[in-house]
Structure 1
Amino acid sequence: MLETKNLNSPKIVYLKDYKIPDYQITTIDLHFHLKAEHTTIRSQLAISRYLGAKPSPLVLDSEELELLSIKLNGQILTEKDYQQDTKSLTLHSVPDQFTLVIETRIYPQHNTALSGLYISSNNFCTQCEAEGFRRITYFLDRPDIMARYTTTIVANKASYPVLLSNGNLIAHGDHAHGDHFAKWEDPFPKPSYLFALVAGTLSKIEDEFITSSGRKVTLSIYVQPHNIDKCEHAMASLKRAMAWDEQVYGREYDLDNYMIVAVDDFNMGAMENKGLNIFNSKYILAKPETATDTDYQYIEGVIGHEYFHNWSGNRVTCRDWFQLSLKEGFTVFRDQQFSASRGSPTVKRIQDVNHLRTYQFKEDSGPMAHPIRPESYAEINNFYTTTVYEKGAEVVRMLYQLLGPKGFRKGTDLYFNRHDGQAVTTDEFVRSLEDANNADFSQFRLWYRQAGTPELHASGVYDPKKNTYTLTVKQTCQATPSQSHKDPFHIPLALGLLDSKGNDLPLRLAGESTPIAGTRVMELRQAEEVFIFKDIPHKPIPSLLRNFSAPVKLHLNLSDEERCFLLAHDSNNFNRWEAGHQLAVKILLNLIRDYQQGKPFQLNLTFIAAIGKILTGNEPDKAFVTHALTLPSEHYLSEFMAIIDPEAIYQAHRFLRQNLAENLKDSFSAMYESLRQTDPYRFTPKDIGRRALRNTCLGYLMELNDPDIYHQCFQQFIQADNMTDTIAALSTLVHTESPERDNALHIFYEKWHQDPLVMDKWLSIQAISRRPDTLKIVKQLTQRSVFKLTNPNKVRALIGAFCQHNPVNFHATNGEGYSFLGDYILKLDPLNPQIAARLVSVFNLWRRYDNKRQILMKEQLERIANVSKISKDVQEIVIKSLN
C-alpha cells in the first residue's frame, strides 16, 4: 500500500448510501450585482421538508463563499443560529416550510478553476456541472433538487452590455450610476448544475426555427465581436440538429429562445445549461481559412450533443452523479446517430470505434477502471470519462440493436413521457425500454454494474457431410479494481457468413424453417454459446461483430488471405475496414517482436498488395479509403502488449509506413494529383473525403524523405485556401529536418498569431513531432506569449498533446518527459484541479511498462503525492494509480 507523508485517502461517496434529501427547494430567486472587483449574490430560497422526513439540520453546500447575511422568514440570523465551515453552512433548527435569503460575495476574477462564476476575456460566465453552483451561493447542490429559477443580473452597461441567463427574458432596463439590469425566468424546474449566467461585451448572429407544431424559436449565438464571422456553420448545425431530433425522436424544443455563448476559457467542450448553452470557442468558431474539416465535424457533433440534452439530460435528468451515463451515454449515442446521418455511417462508425478502442479500452485496463454507473467516487469530476460517455453510448447502442429502431423509439417515447420533469436513474431508463417492448433486460443490466472489456473467443468448424457450420463463442472478462469476479454479459453479436464470391449466405439455425439473409444478431448470454447453421454449401468465411455490435475484444483466428478477402468483399463496410485493420495489427505486432529480438524487419507483400488494391480501386467513398489506408495508432497497438515498448512500436510503425510509401509511390502520387482541388472549399461529405484521401497520400509520400516531395508539400502549404490542406502539409513537414519546416512554422505563426484557436494547432503540431528534440521545443513553447497556463485549451494543445499523443518522445528512457509532466501537474493543480487531474491520468498505466520506465513514472506519482496541498481531483487518481 502507498505510504506518503502528506497523502490521506479522500472521503469516498458511495452509490449504496444514496438517500432522498430531507429538504426540497421549489423556487430560487437570484440577484447578481456584477463588478470587476467582486460580485454580490442574493438568493431567496423557498424550502420545505420532504413529507415524512424527520426534523434534521439543513446543510447547504458551499465553496469559497464569503457570507454576508442570512434571513429566515425575514428574521436576521446570527452566528449562534448556524454553523459555517469551508464546505457547508448548517442551520440546526428550521421549520417545515420557510424562506431563506442569503447574501454572499465572490471574486470571479481570481477563479482560475473555471468552476462556478468566473471571468473569460473580460466576460462573466459560469460552469456549474458537476458541483460548481456551490461556488456561487449556498445551496443543496445535487441533481435531484429541481427548482424553478428567476435570475436578475445588474452590471455596468458600458462594460457588460449583454446580460444572459436561463429561460425567457421578462424584464430589462436601466439603473442609476450607469448600471442596467435583465431579469430571466426559466419555467422548467432544473437542477443547479444547469444554471447559467453570461455577461459582457458580445456580438450575436440570430436566426429562427419553426418547430413541428408551428412555434417560432429565436436562435442566438453570442461571441466576441472579432469572431462574428465564424458562426454560420454552428447556426446551420443547430438548425439541422433541431429538425433531426423532431424527426427521429419526436422531441420538440420547449422555450421561445435558444442561446449559445462561446468562451475561450472552458474546462470542457460545452455545457447544456437550459436554454443557454456555454461552449468552448473551439466548438463554435469556424470558417475555411481557420478551421479544418475535423473541426467542422466536431462543431456539428457537439452542437447536436448539447441540443439533444434538452430532453436527454434537462427535461429528464440524473438523480445523482452515479447516473451520469444516463444523460451522457444516451446523448452521445444520439449525437453519433445525428453525425452518421450527415455523411458516411460507416466512416462515422469507424471513427467512434477507433476512439473507443484507443482510449476507453485503455481506461478499462487501468487503475481507474469503473462501470458506466460507478459504485463510488472521491471526486465526481474524475468520472467524466470515456467509460461513462463513449462506452455508455455503446451500451445504449446495444439496446437499440436488440429492440430495433421502432422498439427503441417506443421505449424512449415512454421514458420521456413517464419521467418528464424528474431526476431518475439508469434503471428507470432501461425499465422504460423493457415496458414499452415487453422485454427482459435483467442480465443486460450487468453492463451498468460491471467494469472491464469483455473478450470473445470465437472458432468455427465446417462439416461438409452435414453442410453445417458450427460457431462456438466463449466470453470472459478480466478482473478490475474492486471487481474480481464477472458474470457473463448479455452481448449482441452481429454476424454474417460469406461464400467464395463474398456474398452473404442465408443463415438458418436448427429448428428454424426459414433462413435469414444478410446480417444476423445472435444474443450471447452464457459463458459459452454454440450456434449451428444449417444448409451451408461450402466452408464459409465468418464476418463477426459487424458494425462493432458490442464493445468487446474479438479473438478470431483468420489467415492473412481470409482477412484480405474480407477487406475486398465483405458486404458490411465496417468489417471490410476491420479486416484490414486487424491484419495491420498482426503485421505490426510481428514487426515489434522482430525489433525487440534484434531481427531484421521483413516486408509483408500480401498486405502491401491489399492496400494497393484499395488505393487504386473504384471505391466511391474516399473517406472510407482514407481509413482503410490508415495504420492502427501506436496507442492502440500498446493495448496488445503485456509490457508496452514505445520505441519498438514506433520503429515498427515507421517501417511499415515507409515500405507502403516505397512500394506504392506511383499510386500515392497519382491519387494525390487526381484529387487536386479546383473548386472553392465546401463542407460536404464528398469534399471532406477527397481532401482526407489526398492528404493521406501526401503523408505517405513524405515518408520517402525526398527533397522534391518536401517542396511539393511546402507548395501545398503556401497555396492552400483552407485550413484542412494547410494543416495537413504543416503536420508532415514538422517531422522533418528540412528547411521548409522552419519556414512553414514561421509563416504560419506570423499569419495567425492573433487567433488563439489557430495557434492551438500550431502548438499541437510541434508537440507531436517525432523529432528527438521535441521536448526541448515544447519547453521553449511554454515560454511563448501564445501559451497560457490558465487556459485549458492551451494546456491540452501543448502539454497534453506531447504527453498523450507523442509516446516515443514522452516515454524516452531518460525520464525527462515524465519529470516535465510532473512539473506541470504541480503547477496546474492549485490553479485548475480538473485539468491537472486529466494530465496525471497519463501515468495510470505505469505498471505496464518496463522496469526502468516504471521506476521513473512511479517517482513522479510519489512526488505529486507528497506535496503538502493537493486537490482531491489529483489525489484520487494518484492513490488509485499507486495502490
Structure 2
Amino acid sequence: MREGTATLIRREDYVAPVFWIRTVDLCFDLEPAKTLVTSKMRLERNAGVPHGPLRLHGEELNLLRVLIDGESVSFRQEGHELIIDNVPDADFNLEIRNTCAPEKNTALSGLYTSGGGFFTQCEAEGFRRITYFLDRPDVMAVYTVTLRADKARYPMLLSNGNLLETATLDNGRHLAKWHDPFPKPSYLFALVAADLVAREQRIRTRAGKDHLLQVYVRRGDLEKTEHAMNSLIASVVWDEARFKLPLDLERFMVVGVSDFNMGAMENKGLNIFNTAALLASPAISTDADFHRIESIVAHEYFHNWTGNRVTCRDWFQLSLKEGLTVFRDQEFSQDMAATPSARAVCRIQDVRALRAMQFPEDAGSMAHAVRPDQYVEINNFYTATVYNKGAEVVRMYQTLVGREGFAKGMSLYFERHDGQAVTCDDFAQAIADANPGSPLSTRLDTFRRWYSQAGTPRLQARGAYDADARTYTLTLSQANPATPGQDGKQPQVIPVALGLLSREGRPLPLTLQGEDGGTVATERVLVLDQAEQSFVFVDVAGEPVPSLLRGFSAPVVLDDGLGDAELLVLLKHDSDAFNRWEASQRLALARILGAVRSGEPLTLDAAYLDAMRAVLRHADLDPAFKALALQLPDEAYIAEQLTEVDPQAVHAAVAAAQEQLATALQADWAWAFETHQVSAGYSPDPVQSGKRALVNLSLAMLVLNATRGGDGVWPGRAYQRIKDATNMTDRLGALSALVNAHAELADSALARFHAQFKGEALVIDKWFAMQGRAAEQDGKTFARVKQLMKHADFTLKNPNRARSLIFSLCMFNPAAFHRADAAGYVFWAEQVLALDAINPQVAGRLARVMDRWTALAEPYRGAAREAIVRVAAKPDLSNDVREIVERALALDPRPAAAAPAEAVQG
C-alpha cells in the first residue's frame, strides 16, 4: 500500500480471470494476535482465456503452506501476489494455510478487532488481507465457513448464509459452521465473533416463506435497535411489493460495530453496520439520524439483489450496484414519507447532497465519469459521482421509460443476469430492451455517455413568446466543460421535465407544434439529445414563466435566464415543490453573489425579505419545506458559482444575510417558534420532524438576533430548552443555536451537554462535530478545534471520532478552514499524514478537501498548494493519499517544489 506498489489500472485492460474458484471452505481459529486461516478451494481453468500461472492476491499475511490436491507445490511471491506456475489443466483442489494479525489492523480493512470482538470489511479489496485469493468481483464462489474461538469472550460466531452446525470444543472453545448457497465474490464475505445480543423478529413474506431477522449489537445497546429492525422489515416488504424481489435466505443478520470506515456493508445475509448508522433512540438521535438509519438499512438490504445476486464484473462498474441501490433507497424513503409534501422534502434533500458533494467533485482534480476509466486505488472511487450522480442516471432511466417501464426493465435485468458479474452496459440494455420504442431505446448510445463523460453538463434555456401566433419557443442547449483528461464532450441525453405558468401563476396546457389535440397535460418531459434544440408550444395565451427541470429531472446546472419577477412567481405558485424551493435558493444566491463579486456589503432588499416572510407565514406550506426554503445556500455551493473564490468574502456575505433575515423577520421567527411546537410524544415522522426543523431554525435566528442587539431573552430560553428537552433533536437544536451565535451561554451549555452524555459515544461525536462546524467568528472556531484535538475523548483511531472533529472543520466549515495565515492548511496536512499512518482510507477522504484548491483566490491558493506539496513529499504515503494529492498538483501548471525539510519529517 506504500510507495512503489502503485499501479494504474485501466478499464480497457480488463481480461477475465485465468481461473475460476467454484467453492471455498474456510476455517478460522480466531485469536487477536494471530488468527489461523485455512482455505480449501476448488478451482478450474477459464477456457475462454489463454493459459497462465495462478496469481493470488495477499497482503500482510504470514504464509504457512500451499497444497494442490493434497501435495506440496512450489510457489513464488512477488509484491502482493502469490504465484504458482505449475497447476493441473483439469479442476483441482488448492489448500492454503496462513495467519494474520487482527489486533494490529488499524486500517479496518480485512479482519480486525474492535471492542473486544472480531469483524471484517472486505470491500473493495480487504479479503486479500485475510487469506490468499483471487480477490476480484468477477470470481464468484459458494462459501462454507467454520469459526472457532473462545466461547466466553466470543459467544456469537456469525458468517454469511445459513447456520449448519454449532459445537462445544475443548479448552473453552466452540465452533459455528455457516453455508451460503449463493455464489458471491470475496468482497461480500463477512464474519463476526463477539459478545453481542440480538433483537429478533420472525416475518412471513408475500411469497409465504418464513424468515428470521436479527440485529446484533453490544450489550447495553439493544434498546436502540427497534428503529433499525422496523426499517429492515419495511425494506423487505417494500422491495417485494415494488420490484417483486424477495428475501432469499432463511435469516438476515445485521451487526453493529463502532470502528468502521464506511456507513455499512451489504455482505450477503450478514450486513455489518457502523453503529452511527444503526443505533437510534429519541434520547440520543435526531430526526435526521432516524431518517438516515432508515435509508441506510434499506440501502444495504436492497443490495441483496442489486449488488449481491447480480454483482459487478470489475470495480469500474461500481455504480452498477451503488448508483442503482442509492436510487432504490431514495425511492423507498419517498414512499415511506407518504405525503406529496414529505416526498418533495426527500427529493430536495437528495439534490442538496448531490450539489454539496458531487458537483464540486465534477469541478475538481478527482473529476471522473460515473464509470471511471482508470484508477490507482479503488477506495478513492467510492465517491459522490459513483453513488449520487449514478443514482441520478438511474432516475433518468425511470423518467424516460416511466415507472412501470422501469420495473419491467428491472425484471428483465434479473432474468438475464441473476448470479452473474456484469457491467453498466448490461443494465442499460435490459432497461432499453424491456421498453422498445421508448425515448431511451431510441437514444441508448447517446444516453450511455452519462457513464463515460465526467463533468456536470450546463443546460441553457431561453424562451421567446410570439403574441400574434400565440406560440412559445423554448430553445435548449447543452455544454459540458472540460475535466482532467477529458475535453470536447459530446451531447448527452437530458430529460427536461417542465411546466409553463401564467404571470398570475396558473398552469398552462402544453401542446407542441404538430401534435394532435386531445387530453392536454400541464407537465411533460422534453428530451434534449443534441447540442441545441427548439421546442414550439402552441395556443399559449400569454407570455409564460417556464418551470424547468422539475423534480431535478437531470443532474445539470440550469441557466434559464429568469429574473426576480419570474422567480417570485415560481416561489408563490409553482405546483412543483422542488422548483418552488429552487426559486427561494436562487433569490438568495443572486444577492449573495452580487455582494461577493462587487466587494460591497450585502443589504437585503425589501422584496426579498417580504417573500421570505410570506413563505414563513404561508398557511398551506409544510413546515419542513419552509425550513428548507428559508435556509440560505451553503457556503461551499456558493463558492461553486465563482471562478475565483475568496472563502472569507463568501462567509461575510452569508453571515450578513443571516443577520438581516434574523433581524427583519424577528417577530415572524418568534411566531413560528411558538406555533409549531410539538406537544405529542416523540415520533420521527415527517409531520413532527418538519415542525421541529422549523422551530430549531427559528430559535437559531432568534438567538443570533439576540447576540446582535435584539431581544435578549432568547439565549436564556435556548439554554432552558437544552435542560428541558425530551428528545435529541430539540436539545441539539438549542445547543446549536447558542454555539453558532457564539452566545455567552454557549460554553456552559456545551459543558452541561458533555457531562450529560459522556457515556454515549455517538452523542459525543455530535458534540465534537457541532464545535467543528460552528460559524466562524474571529478565529474562535479554529482555535477551539485545535484545543479539542487534545480532549480526553478524542482519538484519531476511531473513524467516527476523527470525522466528527477534523472533517467537520476541513470539509464543512470553509470560513474556519481557509485562513489567510494558512493555519488551516497546515492543520490539514498534519492530520492527513497522521491518519495515513493508521488508516489510509480515512486519510484519503480527508485529502479530498483540496480537490479544488486552484479555484481559490490568493493568498489561499499559494498556501494550499504548499500544504499539498508537503503531503506529496512524504516518501511512504499510501496509494489512497498519493493518488489524490498528485492529481491535485497536476492541475497546477507550476512544477511541484520540494517541501520544507521539517514538513517532510512530519
- What SS class does the counterpart of residue 670 from structure 2 fall into? helix
Q: Deviations over 1:640-688 (max 9, x none)?
A: 1111111111111111111111111111101101122322211211101
Amino acid at match of 1:528: E
Detail structure 1 runs of 4+ shifted over 4 Å in the superposition: 6-9
Q: % of aligned pairs identical?
A: 47
Find the aligned partners of 2:451 and 2:560 in 1 and give their Cα distance. 27
| Residue 648 (structure 2) pairs with residue 647 (structure 1) | yes
Give the alignment's TM-score, normalised by structure 2: 0.95
Shift of 1:601: 2.9
Counterpart among 747, 754, 765 of residue 752 in structure 2: 747
| 1:259-278 → structure 2 map (5 Å cutoff) | 259-278=253-272
Contact 1:283/1:299, CA 8 A, preserved across alignment: yes
Structure-1 residue corresponding to 2:896 = none
Structure-2 residue corresponding to 1:18 = 14
| 1:322-333 → structure 2 map (5 Å cutoff) | 322-333=316-327
Structure-1 residue corresponding to 2:811 = 804
Change (3 A) 1:7 1:67: closer
Find the aligned partners of 2:207 and 2:601 in 1 and give their Cα distance. 69
Counterpart among 64, 79, 87 of residue 68 in structure 1: 64
Find the aligned partners of 1:849 and 1:876 in 2 and give their Cα distance. 21
Structure-2 residue corresponding to 1:630 = 631
Shift of 1:736: 3.8
Structure 2: state its 5+ residue gaps.
Answer: 891-906
Structure-1 residue corresponding to 2:560 = 556
Shift of 1:52: 4.2
| Residue 862 (structure 2) pairs with residue 855 (structure 1) | yes
Change (3 A) 1:681 1:52: closer
Give the alignment's TM-score, normalised by structure 1: 0.98
Amino acid at match of 2:736: S
Counterpart among 108, 112, 125 of residue 106 in structure 2: 112
| Residue 48 (structure 2) pairs with residue 45 (structure 1) | no
Shift of 1:503: 2.1
- What SS class does the counterpart of residue 182 from structure 1 fall into? strand
- What SS class does the counterpart of residue 851 from structure 1 fall into? coil
Find the aligned partners of 2:151 and 2:368 in 1 and give their Cα distance. 48
Structure-2 residue corresponding to 1:590 = 594
Find the aligned partners of 1:567 and 1:546 in 2 and give their Cα distance. 13
- What SS class does the counterpart of residue 30 from structure 1 fall into? strand
Structure-1 residue corresponding to 2:763 = 758
| Residue 424 (structure 2) pairs with residue 430 (structure 1) | no
Structure-2 residue corresponding to 1:565 = 569
Contact 1:504/1:517, CA 8 A, preserved across alignment: no
Contact 2:601/2:653, CA 8 A, preserved across alignment: no
| Residue 97 (structure 2) pairs with residue 103 (structure 1) | yes
Find the aligned partners of 2:463 and 2:102 in 1 and give their Cα distance. 64
Shift of 1:516: 2.9
| Residue 333 (structure 2) pairs with residue 339 (structure 1) | yes
| 1:452-471 → structure 2 map (5 Å cutoff) | 452-471=455-474
Counterpart among 118, 121, 128 of residue 124 in structure 1: 118
Shift of 1:780: 1.8
Shift of 1:784: 1.7
Counterpart among 498, 505, 509 of residue 506 in structure 1: 509
> Which stretch shows the higher mean deviation, 688-697 or 432-441?
432-441
Find the aligned partners of 1:180 and 1:373 in 2 and give their Cα distance. 45
- What SS class does the counterpart of residue 442 from structure 1 fall into? helix
| 1:50-199 → structure 2 map (5 Å cutoff) | 50-77=46-73, 81-96=74-89, 97-199=91-193
Find the aligned partners of 2:847 and 2:572 in 1 and give their Cα distance. 43
Contact 1:10/1:875, CA 8 A, preserved across alignment: no
Shift of 1:593: 2.4
Counterpart among 777, 783, 786 of residue 776 in structure 1: 783
Find the aligned partners of 2:578 and 2:5 in 1 and give their Cα distance. 45
Contact 1:503/1:571, CA 8 A, preserved across alignment: no
Find the aligned partners of 2:485 and 2:781 in 1 and give their Cα distance. 39
Amino acid at match of 2:190: A
Find the aligned partners of 2:418 and 2:508 in 1 and give their Cα distance. 46
Structure-2 residue corresponding to 1:224 = 218
Find the aligned partners of 2:48 and 2:453 in 1 and give their Cα distance. 35
Find the aligned partners of 1:316 and 1:74 in 2 and give their Cα distance. 34
Shift of 1:740: 1.4
Contact 1:502/1:571, CA 8 A, preserved across alignment: no
Amino acid at match of 1:640: Q
Q: Deviations over 1:7-38 (max 9, x none)?
A: 77931000000011110000000000001321
- What SS class does the counterpart of residue 559 from structure 2 fall into? strand
| Residue 488 (structure 2) pairs with residue 495 (structure 1) | no
- What SS class does the counterpart of residue 492 from structure 1 fall into? strand
Amino acid at match of 1:56: G
Q: Deviations over 1:765-810 (max 9, x none)?
A: 1111223222221122122221111111011100000101111110
- What SS class does the counterpart of residue 578 from structure 2 fall into? helix
Find the aligned partners of 1:59 and 1:665 in 2 and give their Cα distance. 69
Structure-2 residue corresponding to 1:520 = 524
- What SS class does the counterpart of residue 446 from structure 2 fall into? coil
* Two-structure CA RMSD over aligned residues (Å): 1.2
Find the aligned partners of 1:9 and 1:832 in 2 and give their Cα distance. 17
Find the aligned partners of 1:125 and 1:600 in 2 and give their Cα distance. 54
Shift of 1:737: 4.2
Structure-2 residue corresponding to 1:823 = 830
- What SS class does the counterpart of residue 413 from structure 2 fall into? helix
Amino acid at match of 2:806: I
Find the aligned partners of 1:792 and 1:855 in 2 and give their Cα distance. 30
Amino acid at match of 1:777: R
> Which stretch shows the higher mean deviation, 608-617 or 515-524?
515-524
- What SS class does the counterpart of residue 411 from structure 2 fall into? helix
Q: Deviations over 1:97-134 (max 9, x none)?
A: 21011001000000000000001111100000000000
Amino acid at match of 2:75: Y
| 1:718-737 → structure 2 map (5 Å cutoff) | 718-737=723-742
Find the aligned partners of 1:471 and 1:762 in 2 and give their Cα distance. 50
- What SS class does the counterpart of residue 870 from structure 1 fall into? coil
Find the aligned partners of 2:446 and 2:43 in 1 and give their Cα distance. 41
- What SS class does the counterpart of residue 33 from structure 2 fall into? coil
Change (3 A) 1:672 1:507: same
Counterpart among 573, 577, 583 of residue 579 in structure 1: 583
| Residue 312 (structure 2) pairs with residue 307 (structure 1) | no
Structure-1 residue corresponding to 2:550 = 546
Q: Deviations over 1:346-372 (max 9, x none)?
A: 001100111111110100001100000
Change (3 A) 1:452 1:8: farther
Contact 1:143/1:321, CA 8 A, preserved across alignment: yes
Change (3 A) 1:8 1:477: farther
Aligned length: 872
Amino acid at match of 1:183: K
Change (3 A) 1:501 1:137: same
Contact 1:7/1:866, CA 8 A, preserved across alignment: no
Amino acid at match of 1:678: S
Find the aligned partners of 2:32 and 2:351 in 1 and give their Cα distance. 46
Structure-2 residue corresponding to 1:3 = none
- What SS class does the counterpart of residue 181 from structure 2 fall into? coil
Find the aligned partners of 1:162 and 1:857 in 2 and give their Cα distance. 49
Contact 2:16/2:49, CA 8 A, preserved across alignment: no
Contact 1:7/1:865, CA 8 A, preserved across alignment: no
Counterpart among 528, 532, 536 of residue 532 in structure 1: 536
Find the aligned partners of 1:872 and 1:258 in 2 and give their Cα distance. 35
Change (3 A) 1:52 1:558: closer
Shift of 1:579: 1.0
